[in-house]
Amino acid sequence: MNKILLQLARIALALSWAGVAQASQGYYQGYVTDVMASGGIILVTLTNGSGQLSCGTTAQFWVDPSTAFGQSQISLAVTAKATGTLVYVQGNGTCSTAWPYNNTEQLATLDWKG
């Protein structure tokens, strides 16, 4: 279990380092208000906060549920919604225009603030 958590932490760190070089990555600090499965991906919506969005006017980020890292992000998002915990999210800088996740950015970092 500790090896899996260590691997997830390394992946998260690598993704956040990769995102630093991208000037257009979005970020938002607020509350998870919706977690929806659609079209093979998970959409996470945040409200009641602020940030700079890269891909649209709604703080909505998508997660790939087929990876261990994506599954951990989904677990954190669902728990944050259930508990009403403040979170900070950061995208990877790549916007999607495909349905059902048009005008969204892939989630790279999800940090609990509560």
Q: pLDDT digit string (tens) for 32-49?
A: 999 999 888 999 999 999
Segments making up each domain of the chain, as ranges:
2-112
- For residue 16, pLDDT over 60 is answered with no
Where is 107: in which H helix or E strand? Answer: strand 104-112
- For residue 86, pLDDT over 70 is answered with yes
Dist CA 54 CA 56 (whole Å): 6
| CATH 3.40.50.12780, domain 2-112, yes or no | no
Residue 8 banded pLDDT, cuts 50, 70, 90: very low
Whether the full predicted model's pTM is greater than 0.85, yes or no, is no
Give the burial string for 52-84 (b: 16+ CB within 10 Å, else e): ebbbeeebbbbbeeeeebbebbbebbeebbeee
| Alpha helices per DSSP H over the chain | 2-20, 68-83
Residue 10 banded pLDDT, cuts 50, 70, 90: low
